[in-house]
Amino acid sequence: MITLLAFLFLFYSQENSLQVKNQWMRPGVKGMGTALYFEVENPTDKSDTLYKVTSEVSNMIQLHETYTKDDLVGMREVAEFVIEPGYSLELKPGGYHIMVMKLKSDIKKGDEIEFKLHFKNADSIIIRAKAK
Amino acid sequence: MTVSAVLILIGCQSEFPLNKDLTKQNYNFFNHDSVEISFPKINLGRITVIGFIYTHCPDICPMTTHNMFLTDQRLNNDGIDNVNFVLLTFDPDRDYPSILKKFAQIRDIEFDNWLLLWNTKQNTNLFLKRLNILAISTDSSYTDNGELNYYVMHTDRISLIDRKGHLRKNYKGSTVNLDELYNDIKTLGEY
């Protein structure tokens, strides 16, 4: 009975908390930068905000967006990503991304790197992203 | 018969809207091994796909590079191995040849038919101007270690150059239609 309750609690918690999926990143050279992408689903009834990402691989990680102006492309830091209740936020090439700068080591294709995503409401979520 | 010939001619011209001779001026660069070369002279006789990047760009430039990499792979799979691929940095203050080489190596790029080019900002800008490519430094800041960090706002571009060193077509580098690029290379090269 206790096991069943624990399972139901776990199932309910997972279904009603932020979900991060489809994470991946690009390869990168030590000392240089790369980008991390993923999708965050928010099935809860409250909005949440991703405001920081940390990792052992870099001390300089920023939330970024790519933008177009006068037929030129650029990127800039943004303070946070808000995920509205019932919606998903997709970080993808050419749009929002996590900029991982000054890499402490090379990241080769196939490497998996751990990142910690910090949200204002939810607990931090740890993900492992594969370089491809 | 005459009408058909005209239609074919119009069709070919529309596929390649440009015909700019890049050989009228000599552009010297250093390749990824720091060897000085003259471009596009070094690639005359071969079709060239050239992309414009900087290695501190984590998003758009890797997309451009990856699109070129995929095109090279597809050509290789079809037995076409005499198309050259070139990446030119518009951030020469940070992208020295050795950096460019590492940028390529970590992406499994083989140097048989790839060149990564560097020159001083002044010389690079001469070539960029010829191809109507802009690159403007923006949003500079200093890291905790006091290192200058900045981004570059730039034209998102891949270009196709024919065997005679003429610029024939431009594409949006990060989002190029890979089928279009592949088919244009085959048409231009008559493969």
Q: Which domain holds residue A56?
A: 2-131
Tokens of A82: 């808000």
Pairs of CB atoms within 8 A across A/B: 83
Give the residues across from A36 on adjacent strands: A25, A98
Dump pLDDT digits (tens) for B80-106.
Answer: 999 999 999 999 999 999 999 999 999
Q: Which residue of A has its CA nearest to B108?
A: A109
Predicted local confidence at residue A96, as pLDDT: 98
Number of residues that make up chain B: 191
Please, which pLDDT band fits residue A8 given cuts at 50, 70 and 90? very low
Please state which CATH class domain B19-189 belongs to.
Answer: alpha beta
pLDDT for B62 equals 95
pLDDT for residue B149: 82
Q: Which tokens go with A16?
A: 């009603």
Q: Report pLDDT digits (tens) over A80-100.
A: 999 999 999 999 999 999 999
pLDDT in tens, A9-63: 444 455 689 999 999 999 999 999 999 999 999 999 999 999 999 999 999 999 9
Alpha helices in B45-147 (DSSP H): 60-77, 97-105, 121-130
- Whether A10 contacts chain B with CB within 8 A: no
Contact of B56 with B154, CB cutoff 8 Å: no
For residues B63 and B53, what is the distance between their CA atoms, to the nearest angstrom? 10
Short-list B158, B115, B150, CA closest to B133: B158
- Going from N- to C-terminal start, the domains of chain B cover 19-189
Q: Would the CB atoms of B155 and A74 count as touching at under 8 Å?
A: no
Measured CA to CA, the distance from residue B74 to residue B66 in angstroms comes to 12
Distance from CA of A26 to the nearest CA of B (A): 8
In contact, A110 and A6? CB cutoff 8 Å: no
pLDDT at B138: 86
* Inter-chain residue contact B153 with A69, CB threshold 8 Å: yes
B108: which 2 tokens? Answer: 């499994």
Q: Return d(Cα A57, Cα A105) in angstroms, integer.
A: 7
Interface mutation vs chain A, best among B90, B103, B106, B109, most A CBs within 10 Å: B106
pLDDT digits (tens, 9 = 90+) for B170-189: 999 999 999 999 999 999 99
Write out chain B residues lying below 8 Å of A75, CB-based.
Answer: 57-60, 151
Place of tokens 């809860």: A44
What pLDDT, on the 0 to 100 scale, is given for residue B14? 59
A 27-46: CB under 8 A from B? 27-29, 32-35
The pLDDT assigned to A14 comes to: 53
Q: For chain A, how many structural domains are there in total?
A: 1
The pLDDT of residue A2: 54
Q: Can you give the pLDDT at residue A10?
A: 47
Determine contact, residues B68/B158, Cβ cutoff 8 Å: yes
> Could you write out the three-class secondary structure of B115-158?
EEEECCHHHHHHHHHHCCCCEEEEEEEECCCCCEEEEEEECCEE
Which positions in chain B touch A32 (Cβ < 8 Å)?
55-56, 99, 102-103
The DSSP 8-state label assigned to residue A3 in this structure reads: H
Residue A79 has pLDDT above 50, yes or no: yes
DSSP 8-class letter at B162: -
Find, in chain B, the residue whose alpha carbon is nearest to that of A77: B139
Instruction: Considering only the beta carbons, identify the residue of B55, B59, B154 that sits closest to A93.
Output: B59
We report the CATH number of the domain holding residue A115 as 2.60.40.1890
Q: CA–CA distance from A58 to each of A92, A105, A106, A116, A127 (Å)?
A: 20, 9, 11, 12, 15
Q: Which of B106, B139, B175 sits opposite A28 (nearest CB)?
A: B106
Residues A67-79 have a mean pLDDT of 93
Nearest to B71 by CA among B166, B149, B185: B185
Question: Within an 8 Å CB–CB cutoff, is residue B134 touching chain A?
Answer: yes
Convert the pLDDT of each residue in B12-67 to its tens digit.
555 899 999 999 988 999 999 999 999 999 999 999 999 999 999 989 999 999 99
Contact B168, B188 (CB under 8 A): yes
Band the pLDDT of B143: cuts 50, 70, 90: confident
